[in-house]
Structure 1
Amino acid sequence: MLRKPKIQRFDENVLSKYQIYNSLFLTLPFDDISNTGSFLPLFSEMCSQGYNENQDPSTIVDSFFNKFYSDKPEEERISLLFKFIQYIERQVVLFDAIEDAAFSIVNNMDGHGTLRSVKEEAQAINKIEILKTHLKEFKIRPVLTAHPTQFYPGSVLGIITDLADSIEKNDLSNIKKLLAQLGKTAFFKKKKPTPFDEAVSLIWYLENVFYHASSKMFNYIQNNIFGEEELNNDVVKLGFWPGGDRDGNPFVTPEITLNVADRLKTAILRNYYRDVRKLKRRITFDGTDVIISELETSLYQNIFLPSKKHTLDKETFVSKLYEVKSILVKNHQSLFVDEINDLINKVKLFGFHFATLDIRQDSRVHHNVLIGIVNDTIKNNLDIFPENYESLSEQEQIEVLTKVSGKIDPELITDEMAKATLQSIYVMQEIQKYNGEEGCNRYIISNNQTIINVLEAFAMIKLTGWEKPTVDVVPLFETVDDLQHAKTVMEALYNNEEYKAHLASRGNLQPIMLGFSDGTKDGGYLMANWSIYKAKEELTLISRKYDIKVVFFDGRGGPPARGGGKTHQFYASLGPNIENKEVQMTVQGQTISSNFGTVNSCQYNLEQLLSSGIQEVFHRDKSVLNDDDRETMQKLADISYQTYSDFKAHPKFLPYLENMSTLKYYAKTNIGSRPSKRGKSDKLVFSDLRAIPFVGSWSQLKQNVPGFFGVGTAIAEFEKAGNFDKVEQLYHNSLFFKTLIENSMMSLTKSFFKLTAYMQEDEEFGEFWKLIHNEFELTKRLLLKLTGYEELMEDSESMRASIKVREEIVLPLLTIQQFALKKIQEFEKQKGVDSSLIEVYEKMVTRSLFGNINASRNSA
């Protein structure tokens, strides 16, 4: 039977089901305002019609009330708007659950980019042995971060999972109960989560999704590609930031880090315990049943003990499993050997640590910390630093930092940040002792600009008495300027004798992290991506020169502006000039739930990542840029960068964000543990802005500036000069550039300028709004011309359809948000307005943030 087109599968299994279940949902009586469910469709229709007639949000809301709610006082009108927000949030959840349930139907689980497809293609061209060689080395490492780009509390995530399961089974009775539960479950957090709370939320995904999806992948590779030959490469490694990411988060303490590591270990032991209980029901033979029972008892006891008191270690656990396997093979015709192998493979992947907890801190903090340590060691007569350290030249400081050694008691340090930083390194040692080295063996330096930044962190690691630290020191180059200097920094490090010896002890492997979102915020969409691409080429070249295996770790996020979009295509587009032995990337917020939220979606997307990194097996053209194309790309990036820089320097840039967007409301959402900006100043400073509220504020405005601004102007320069064919040539020759363009189209597709068109009449910001809108129209026109499409995202029909439904769902919510923002602006210009009324509308804005961000899950 012919498989239906993807868009048809989407329409039948997602869109149609949503229409049915949404009509059911709207009739459920779970609120204290009668007929809210019947009013919302009417309001939605008025929003669509109103924007088609170029009405502004206030006119649309007022028209609705005049037509359907004219006899009600303002208090009830406000209450109805809050109820609309609640309904819309839950409609988004319903749509999420339906998409999750239909994932394996809409997506071809054995199609291009899956392991089965890769294996069959390799077999067809006699390249299984080459594929095996690659899989003996290649790894993927998704690193879960707590960056708050999704607002679902844990209780709601649980409902999504259960709802998806019931929808898949067409269990109407349970669906009705879960929809009712959804209606009564709070979405808003009354207080900020702690870093530990964030960790617990994400560990749920490790336990319930990654544990199963990763091991299914590994088992497939072992059984279907390697067969009897044992695969000793943990192809899927997991990383974890909550509890270890100290950058800008004063609430991450050494104690929190230890507690999170302990929780990770408990979680993996709990999963092993569940599997051993299942084995116990099958492996009931002489010589094996006693061993299995002992393991069950030991795992159960250790789950309830802190790591320091654990009596079972990884080596003992694995050896017992191999002992059982040996008995099964020798005495019981290998009965249930596959089940034992499955558990052995899981231990290979997850050890007793589950996921590697990374430590991260900003280089500027490190510098201040080091100066504090220098002063306190001198005060305590510890012969570690010279008294004139601060006045030394950079080269002299490098020499001091390189030779530093000793063991400092953190209690001697008076500065609290310096003390906590040292303690966090002692904590790394403790975690390695109880969870294994992989439990915590990477120290990431944010905002890395110089060799000094790396050596300051390296010196602090050595000052804990760690003579041969089992730690990878990972510089993170974020801004355009930092990326341009990355090669110089790393070459200096590779020539530093002490650091060279450290690298030798780490197998001459150097991970380097490259940022996306801060780069986009700094240099705009094209320049950020091109700068990272070039930096990877340069760093590959210099690392190969010194026989160093460089591994790139990408700070990718959800939307294209944060390096997301069609992630797999990005990795498949890397040529031989970029080292690609591992794919490492941060995964956050809605990207976790949308790409890795169910076992099916997680396995599918992990397989896509894996296959994107082993393309050279098939000798596909990985689009090495020729000189002409490089010149075109560089010129596009330069023009785009200048355009974006001029835009940032516009006198209305920050005031517009501050006064016309939702930027200042992000801090009130209680979605993440860390502050929404870095600095302590009450005044808005661009460098203090975190990338997430920055990108998110443009998203709430439906303007998505970071994903397209400057792209249109850059291409237009070629068009004006009669050189548009050069851009077309680059587009057809380079998968890298093509992916950039496709992801930018996604940002354009999610923009809706009619929502804020009223701003063009604003006395202060009208011209600035027009500047943004003109760039949007220019970019849209030129991307359609470049691709030959009639409409944006023409080649991704099902994704475009998903975006369309989601945008329709949240349009009333965004209308309410703009209505409330306008009300606040009006009140602030008036004298004597009741402050409590302003607070109500501020709360309305804050509450409206949630649904829109959650609806954008497919931006990953």
Structure 2
Amino acid sequence: MEHDKDLPLKEDIRLLGRLLGDTVRDQRGAAVFDIVERIRQLSVRFHRDEDEAARKGLDTTLDALSRDQSIDVVRAFSYFSHLANIAEDQHHIRRTRAHLIKGSAPREGNLAHAIERVFDEGASASDLGRFFDTALISPVLTAHPTEVQRKSILNCQNAIARLLDARDRMAMTPEETEASDAALRRAVLTLWQTRMLRTAKLSVIDEVANGLSYSQTTFLRELPHLYAKVEDTLAAHDDSRTTHELPAFLRIGSWIGGDRDGNPFVTAEVLTQTLAMQAETALGFYLEELHTLGSQLSLADRLVTTSDELRALSDASGDTSPHRADEPYRRALSGIYARLAATYRSLLGRTPARAAGHEAPPYADAAALEADLDIIHRSLHNNGSAPLGRGRLRQLRRAVKVFGFHLAPVDLRQNSDVHERLVAELLSIADPGVDYLALDEDARIARLLEEIGTVRPLYSPHVDYSEETASELAILFAARRAHHQYGAAALPNYIISKADGVSDVLEVALLLKEAGLLDPRRPALAMNIIPLFETIGDLQAAGRVMDRLLALPAYMALLASRDRAQEVMLGYSDSNKDGGFLTSGWELYKAEVELVQVFARHDVRLRLFHGRGGSVGRGGGPSYEAILAQPGGAVQGQIRLTEQGEVIGAKYGNPEVGRRNLEVLVAATLQATLRADDAPAPRPEFMDAMQQLSDHAFRAYRALVYETPGFERYFWESTVITEIADLNIGSRPASRKKSTAIEDLRAIPWVFSWAQCRLMLPGWYGFGSAVKAFLAEHPDDGMTLLQEMSRSWSFFSTTLSNMDMVLAKSDLAIASRYAALVRDDALRAAIFPRICAEHAATVEALLAITGQDELLAGNPLLRRSIRNRFPYLDPLNHVQVELLRRHRAGAEDERIRRGIHIAINGIAAGLRNSG
């Protein structure tokens, strides 16, 4: 039966593979096609049958490739990775639709399933309503130093996906099938002929444009559909909510254009341009929707009744066309369009592509536009035309409520060290003799509170400040202007990287005061100040720091202006690089538990912002399980989490897949919140065992990464980190400083590099040693306890599940080829066998605890995916190693460098969550 369900997927993969093969033959010749096909057949045979003769034949064929043949092979298999992703996404859509058509019971991650679960656990319809009325769920898109996709490639992929989807949803005539085949063939050819790599380094504005593409294809249209689904589902459970409209609880956030931590290219000008581009995207969408809506609402006043306020809106529209004289809805929409076009011109300084037919005053804010659309909605609803208000108008009203004129809230982010230097310079000039950097924490807090409490500014426009200070102040002043121009929702948050003390938060409060974003007289904050705790030590101190901060009456007075809600961000990436996978996860869990307790004591609402990456080594993994694995009380109906890198494309590149992933976030947050009060704390023996495991894993990880002589050199030579640093794939440098030290390397390229060589080390290293040591200390009941933890503690079971996925994607045989790139034989011999031994111990421990007889035994969908795609991934790794060897031997050939980078792209696509 499972075979029958997967048959359409296999057929799609075969179809796309055949079209790609035909394209290769037509474009590169029969000889190249024959080589690619031979490699494909050998690799499939080896993976399917473990045929050693096939493996040897594969090695021989790959080793004999010329430079140009290597490039052709890399391109062919890279494009196949992309095509396989498209087929898999389409199959997920297909299977979801099949379940819905069949009327199957709701599945995990589905909103209906979540509602069933919370009802089973005792929640009522009113509990559901209260949750949605106060919830805040926000995936936040971030620029990614290893994002390897070009927007042009994404456009090609979307075209192919649409064609597959159309074939799936309708029975085609022979003529239609022929036309579809021809269209697919053209789409695959376009993909093949579209450059996979960028020729110039990405600018921040390029990254902004890439991010906006997801709003255009997915968020602006799919988010309103999801809101409608939630409202209709609630109404089905509670008659009193039939006409109730939810507040904007689900919003898409962004760091792109506002995150300047380690990125000197994010300036005041870039921030201003970012906000303008976002506004243009939102307003342009609304204008097009209004134009279409005007063509649809052709109701004549002789045939319908209208409300007094609708007639007033129509009469005031300024539309004098005799052709619409008896069409009040069209006239009202014409007036709204004219006002919105004037708003576009006022905010952006130019006229929209489709100009209004007459002049009108601009809207003061999005709420005023929303009010006019509400007039149309109420008139339709109250005068016998309610169904007309539940189509395009409903979607547009929701879009305006969610996206406003700013589209997505942009977070500002900067490192605490920068803030410290800024405050020190401002104080030293305003109050000569003050050496802020020499003050201890208590003295800093006292001085900062004193300055925050007075209206006197430290900044003077008549002083020449350092370049860094002038740049940072310019961004803050730009933020104030943006608040006036687009509203406070455009820039609601200020995040402090590497926060480790109360003074880090108060420094930002002082800087906001200097920019007019904190009023000490009321007192009031115009932005949320959010500390980000990233390293293991910072996570361990998070509860203590927040307890001291919330004990300050002056800060609590500021929080009163933010509804007594405080956001705290937790960093998964740097804590992993600092202490390893297991310790990072455990310290994050403990920090959350402590923060919940601290905030309850101070009667402040806690909102956690999870800085997760795409890969397991950076806190990634399925969002549904991750949210449900949070400790009791940690969600509280409000959660933000980062979406990064190729995960953004995988989750939101396809509109239907995007809506499904957004629904998963809503469902998980609902379940985690409404069960939180009754969620039992882990048993003390579970907590003790986890702490022991973490201590052992931490020592094993630190011993390898930070205490092994030469490990830094081993990493740089055995992975593609050097070549990643050279790629035109992001505006942000790979390292925070000009060094090769692991400490200075950004966590994203650190994890991405290990994924490329198929070791995935940050996602598992240390666990095998930890379990071995734990069992040695508890020989009688240790394994029984770990197995019980796996069965009954969601945090531990999710940790194991994520590790299971990472281990299944690793391949020591391929990794050994990369290890061979290390020039020092002794260094290689000292490190790679050690990694292999830990890998074996980790797999053995995982299988013993979970009771599986093989990796991914409990995840057949992912096991199927790996089976389908890895035969096409392995040749990419093999060729990449050979190209690396030639490149590092001094081959001055741009085609070799390009081949390496194409392979990086293809491997990332094949792994899907590697960065």
Using the size of structure 2 for normalisation, the TM-score is 0.86
Verify the 8 A CA contact 1:360 1:446 in the aligned structure 2.
yes
Verify the 8 A CA contact 2:147 2:730 in the aligned structure 1.
no
d(CA) in 2 for partners of 1:595, 1:191:
26
Q: CA deviation at 1:516?
A: 0.5
How has the CA–CA distance of structure 1 residues 282 and 515 changed in structure 2, closer, same or farther, with 3 Å as cutoff? same
Paired residue for 1:693?
749
How has the CA–CA distance of structure 1 residues 666 and 406 changed in structure 2, closer, same or farther, with 3 Å as cutoff? farther
Which deviates more from structure 2 when the two are superposed, residues 117-126 or residues 552-561? 117-126
Verify the 8 A CA contact 1:491 1:542 in the aligned structure 2.
yes
How has the CA–CA distance of structure 1 residues 228 and 400 changed in structure 2, closer, same or farther, with 3 Å as cutoff? same
Paired residue for 2:176?
none
Match of 1:362 among 399, 404, 415: 415
Paired residue for 1:73?
none
Residues 392-428 of structure 1: CA deviation (Å, up to 9, x unaligned): 3332221111222544256734211211111111111
Q: CA deviation at 1:39?
A: 1.3
Match of 2:575 among 511, 519, 522: 519
How has the CA–CA distance of structure 1 residues 433 and 22 changed in structure 2, closer, same or farther, with 3 Å as cutoff? same
Which deviates more from structure 2 when the two are superposed, residues 388-397 or residues 235-244? 388-397
Paired residue for 2:655?
599
Match of 1:152 among 149, 154, 157: 149
Match of 2:398 among 345, 350, 361: 345
Q: Give the secondary structure class of the aligned counterpart of 1:412.
A: coil
Verify the 8 A CA contact 1:561 1:695 in the aligned structure 2.
yes
d(CA) in 2 for partners of 1:623, 1:600:
36
How has the CA–CA distance of structure 1 residues 543 and 808 changed in structure 2, closer, same or farther, with 3 Å as cutoff? same
Match of 2:628 among 562, 572, 577: 572
Verify the 8 A CA contact 2:635 2:669 in the aligned structure 1.
no
Q: CA deviation at 1:840?
A: 5.3
d(CA) in 1 for partners of 2:287, 2:405:
12
Q: Give the secondary structure class of the aligned counterpart of 2:659.
A: helix
Superposed, 1:281-360 pairs within 5 Å as 281-285=295-299, 286=301, 287-303=328-344, 306-307=347-348, 311-312=362-363, 313-339=365-391, 340-360=393-413
Paired residue for 1:478?
534
Q: Give the secondary structure class of the aligned counterpart of 2:614.
A: coil
Verify the 8 A CA contact 2:908 2:914 in the aligned structure 1.
no
Paired residue for 1:268?
282
Paired residue for 1:240?
254
d(CA) in 2 for partners of 1:488, 1:122:
33
Superposed, 1:625-640 pairs within 5 Å as 625-640=682-697
Verify the 8 A CA contact 1:218 1:235 in the aligned structure 2.
no
Paired residue for 2:901?
846
Q: CA deviation at 1:621?
A: 6.9
How has the CA–CA distance of structure 1 residues 793 and 329 changed in structure 2, closer, same or farther, with 3 Å as cutoff? same
Residues 417-470 of structure 1: CA deviation (Å, up to 9, x unaligned): 211111111111122212221100100011111112212222111112332331
Residues 31-85 of structure 1: CA deviation (Å, up to 9, x unaligned): 445532331121244556789688999995554565xx7xxxxxxx101111111
Stretches of structure 1 that go unaligned for 5 or more consecutive residues are 70-76, 828-833
Using the size of structure 1 for normalisation, the TM-score is 0.92
Verify the 8 A CA contact 1:57 1:816 in the aligned structure 2.
no
Residues 297-348 of structure 1: CA deviation (Å, up to 9, x unaligned): 3334544554478922312211111221232234454351213333222222
Which deviates more from structure 2 when the two are superposed, residues 463-472 or residues 439-448? 463-472
Residues 705-731 of structure 1: CA deviation (Å, up to 9, x unaligned): 000001111112233342111211211
Match of 1:450 among 495, 501, 506: 501
Which deviates more from structure 2 when the two are superposed, residues 109-118 or residues 594-603? 109-118
Verify the 8 A CA contact 1:318 1:347 in the aligned structure 2.
yes
Stretches of structure 2 that go unaligned for 5 or more consecutive residues are 101-105, 168-179, 236-240, 302-327, 351-360
1:396 aligns with 2:443: yes
d(CA) in 2 for partners of 1:573, 1:95:
31
Verify the 8 A CA contact 1:590 1:856 in the aligned structure 2.
no
Which deviates more from structure 2 when the two are superposed, residues 154-163 or residues 304-313? 304-313
Q: CA deviation at 1:796?
A: 1.3
d(CA) in 1 for partners of 2:796, 2:761:
19
Which deviates more from structure 2 when the two are superposed, residues 629-638 or residues 651-660? 651-660
Which deviates more from structure 2 when the two are superposed, residues 117-126 or residues 452-461? 117-126
Residues 205-232 of structure 1: CA deviation (Å, up to 9, x unaligned): 1122012222112112223314335244
d(CA) in 2 for partners of 1:58, 1:424:
59
Verify the 8 A CA contact 2:613 2:619 in the aligned structure 1.
yes
Verify the 8 A CA contact 1:282 1:336 in the aligned structure 2.
no
Match of 1:609 among 655, 665, 668: 665
Q: CA deviation at 1:543?
A: 0.9
Paired residue for 1:199?
208
Paired residue for 2:139?
142
Residues 222-255 of structure 1: CA deviation (Å, up to 9, x unaligned): 2331433524431211110110000111111111
How has the CA–CA distance of structure 1 residues 248 and 64 changed in structure 2, closer, same or farther, with 3 Å as cutoff? closer
Verify the 8 A CA contact 1:56 1:757 in the aligned structure 2.
no
How has the CA–CA distance of structure 1 residues 173 and 410 changed in structure 2, closer, same or farther, with 3 Å as cutoff? farther
Match of 1:35 among 17, 24, 31: 31
Verify the 8 A CA contact 2:366 2:405 in the aligned structure 1.
yes
Verify the 8 A CA contact 1:581 1:613 in the aligned structure 2.
yes
**Match of 1:625, as an amino acid?**
P
Match of 2:16 among 10, 21, 30: 21
**Match of 2:92, as an amino acid?**
F
Paired residue for 1:658?
716
Match of 1:805 among 868, 888, 907: 868
Which deviates more from structure 2 when the two are superposed, residues 321-330 or residues 757-766? 757-766
How has the CA–CA distance of structure 1 residues 859 and 660 changed in structure 2, closer, same or farther, with 3 Å as cutoff? closer
Paired residue for 1:88?
77
**Match of 1:84, as an amino acid?**
V
**Match of 1:851, as an amino acid?**
G
RMSD over aligned CA atoms reads 2.6
Q: CA deviation at 1:113?
A: 2.6
Match of 1:816 among 840, 863, 879: 879
Paired residue for 2:800?
741
Which deviates more from structure 2 when the two are superposed, residues 310-319 or residues 612-621? 612-621
Verify the 8 A CA contact 1:524 1:640 in the aligned structure 2.
yes
Verify the 8 A CA contact 1:695 1:704 in the aligned structure 2.
yes
Residues 733-765 of structure 1: CA deviation (Å, up to 9, x unaligned): 201110000000111011011113357784431
1:169 aligns with 2:169: no
Paired residue for 1:12?
7
d(CA) in 2 for partners of 1:778, 1:447:
34
Paired residue for 2:318?
none
Q: Give the secondary structure class of the aligned counterpart of 1:686.
A: coil
**Match of 2:286, as an amino acid?**
Y
Q: Give the secondary structure class of the aligned counterpart of 1:765.
A: helix
d(CA) in 1 for partners of 2:718, 2:442:
48
Paired residue for 1:425?
476
**Match of 1:845, as an amino acid?**
I
How has the CA–CA distance of structure 1 residues 617 and 489 changed in structure 2, closer, same or farther, with 3 Å as cutoff? closer
How has the CA–CA distance of structure 1 residues 557 and 277 changed in structure 2, closer, same or farther, with 3 Å as cutoff? same
Verify the 8 A CA contact 1:247 1:361 in the aligned structure 2.
yes
How has the CA–CA distance of structure 1 residues 855 and 299 changed in structure 2, closer, same or farther, with 3 Å as cutoff? farther
Which deviates more from structure 2 when the two are superposed, residues 101-110 or residues 434-443? 101-110
Verify the 8 A CA contact 2:268 2:471 in the aligned structure 1.
yes
Q: Percent sequence identity over matched residues?
A: 25
How has the CA–CA distance of structure 1 residues 252 and 619 changed in structure 2, closer, same or farther, with 3 Å as cutoff? closer
How has the CA–CA distance of structure 1 residues 621 and 495 changed in structure 2, closer, same or farther, with 3 Å as cutoff? closer
Match of 2:229 among 220, 230, 242: 220
d(CA) in 1 for partners of 2:500, 2:117:
44
**Match of 1:653, as an amino acid?**
F
